[in-house]
Structure 1
Amino acid sequence: MASDFKVMQDTEKEIQEAITLSSMDRQISVSGVAELTIAPDRYSITIKCNASKDTVQDAKNSVMRRTDYIVQSLQNSALKEEDYQLYKHVTHSDSLAHVHCEIEAHFTDIQKCQNIANFLSEKLGPGVSVTLPRCYHARGSMDKLRRQAGMLAIHNARQKALEMAKILHLSIGSVLKVQEIGITESQDTSKEDEGLLDTNDSIHQRIKEATISVSSKVNVCFQLKPAKSKRN
């Protein structure tokens, strides 16, 4: 019983230390913390095909048949022209002309990305190579998450202030000051720790490594007011 009383005293003491009271003003300053996590929302694959022929034109024609099929397949999957880029370059060696082609395609859905990658590998076989998806975030996604984390930290600070004021039979009023103490970002680094190679990454592992957590901490000062009396 005495132990419970001491804990209650310590709690009230901590709250009193957070509160500044004077004849002219009453205020409470509290910290709030929030953490949000965002998985990647963009995915890209690179499709490569090459041809080696006696003439440049023959090599181009060989590659063109496959690239036309690839582009048509991407369009059939509802990708627009701005969602993919095509790169070609020509080299010569041993009296042969080599044409190398890469198509980089970007998706908003990982399932669609995997489906088209598997489809092209099955249909074109060794004539093409398709990379595993690269997982990343759309422009603006991280800025939005940072703002959301900051807003949630302020909300959590307000909830804390409400509970502390209630114990002292007071209520909180206007916000007097908001200060961002810090914001941190972190993501999975297990691959680096284990020394694994990119070629050994599974799609699940790539998504995990691209998932980012944002933590925000703020300090908020509220005005304190007498609690409203309950009417009978």
Structure 2
Amino acid sequence: MSGRNILEPSHIFASLKPDRTAQENEHSDCRRAPRREVQVTGTAEISAAPSMCVLTVVIRSEKAQAEEAKNSVLRRLEYVQQTFRNHGVQDGDMISVKNLSRVPEKPLYLMEAQVDGTFRNSVHKCLQLHNLLVEKLDETVRILPPKLHHDKQKLESIRKQTCLAALANAKQKAIEVCRMLGQGIGRPIYVKEDALQELSGDFNSITSSSEQDHTLIGTPKALDIQQRINANTITIKAQVSAAFELRGLTKNKK
């Protein structure tokens, strides 16, 4: 089953209600003449690539002495944090957690530390740093697959932009129809949002829908950077209906 929803095709037409005033003159005392209007639909589509990327690094060390385990982890932790900073991650976008415990049935201490670094508007830097840390650090450090995210405020702004663009397209269509008929466009009578849909990147050819948890990176069939971004890109589609008054053109008299 496809992972993409499909927006129903828009109506590429405009309908014009005829002026039936002359036909209803005899009933004008009890019925009003119908309003002459032009009805149109408009669509718009905007795509948004993920703007946030979270990279998680887990550091572990088992030692006979607690201080040795802590020192071993803290050295690597400091290196990882500085590497994050060198790639544009602010301290406020880094979360570090440390934990010391005993290894069951062994006279050993286990020291663990986890760092989550959030890259904003720098998805490529996040993916590049992932590859760098995998290459530079040993097996005591685990680099989890980066997770791609969308900024909620930006996504909401794009939704509004898409709806406004669809309305602008509907109005432009109405203007062109009126011009073709030798009429003028009046004030709007109504505007209705028919549909607003969001489609995620289609990667059925890569993985099943149950595996679409943004953990494509680091798998045996790892995709290149652009494919990963495309797989997490969201396309927003909007369709609106609108009606405008139809007015006859007036000519200036000398």
Q: Given the two structures, how large is their TM-score scaled by the length of structure 2?
A: 0.76
1:104 is displaced (CA, Å) by: 0.9
What amino acid is the match of 1:30?
A: V
List alignment gaps of at least 5 residues for structure 1. 1-13
Q: Which moved more, 1:123-132 or 1:80-89?
A: 123-132
Aligned to 2:46, which of 21, 25, 36? 36
CA distance, structure 1, for counterparts of residue 85 and residue 97 of structure 2: 17
CA distance, structure 1, for counterparts of residue 179 and residue 204 of structure 2: 48
Aligned to 1:21, which of 9, 19, 22? 19
Aligned to 1:65, which of 66, 72, 75? 75
Between the two proteins, what is the percent identity of the paired residues?
A: 27
Name the SS for the 1:49 alignment partner: strand
- Please tell me whether the aligned partners of residues 172 and 222 of structure 1 are also in contact (alpha carbons under 8 angstroms): yes
What amino acid is the match of 1:82?
A: G
Superposition map of 1:1-232 within 5 A: 15=14, 17-19=15-17, 21=19, 23=21, 25-91=35-101, 92-93=103-104, 94-107=106-119, 108-191=121-204, 194-195=207-208, 198=216, 199=219, 200-202=221-223, 203-229=225-251
Name the SS for the 1:221 alignment partner: strand
1:115 is displaced (CA, Å) by: 3.8
1:116-174 deviations in Å (ceiling 9; x for gaps): 33443444343423233311111212111110110011011011111211221101121
Name the SS for the 2:145 alignment partner: coil
- Please tell me whether the aligned partners of residues 44 and 165 of structure 2 are also in contact (alpha carbons under 8 angstroms): yes
- Which has the larger helix fraction? 1
List alignment gaps of at least 5 residues for structure 2. 1-12, 22-32
Q: Given the two structures, how large is their TM-score scaled by the length of structure 1?
A: 0.82
- Please tell me whether the aligned partners of residues 16 and 36 of structure 2 are also in contact (alpha carbons under 8 angstroms): no
- How many residue pairs are counted as aligned between the two chains? 218
Root-mean-square deviation (CA), in Å? 2.6
Q: Which moved more, 1:115-124 or 1:170-179?
A: 115-124
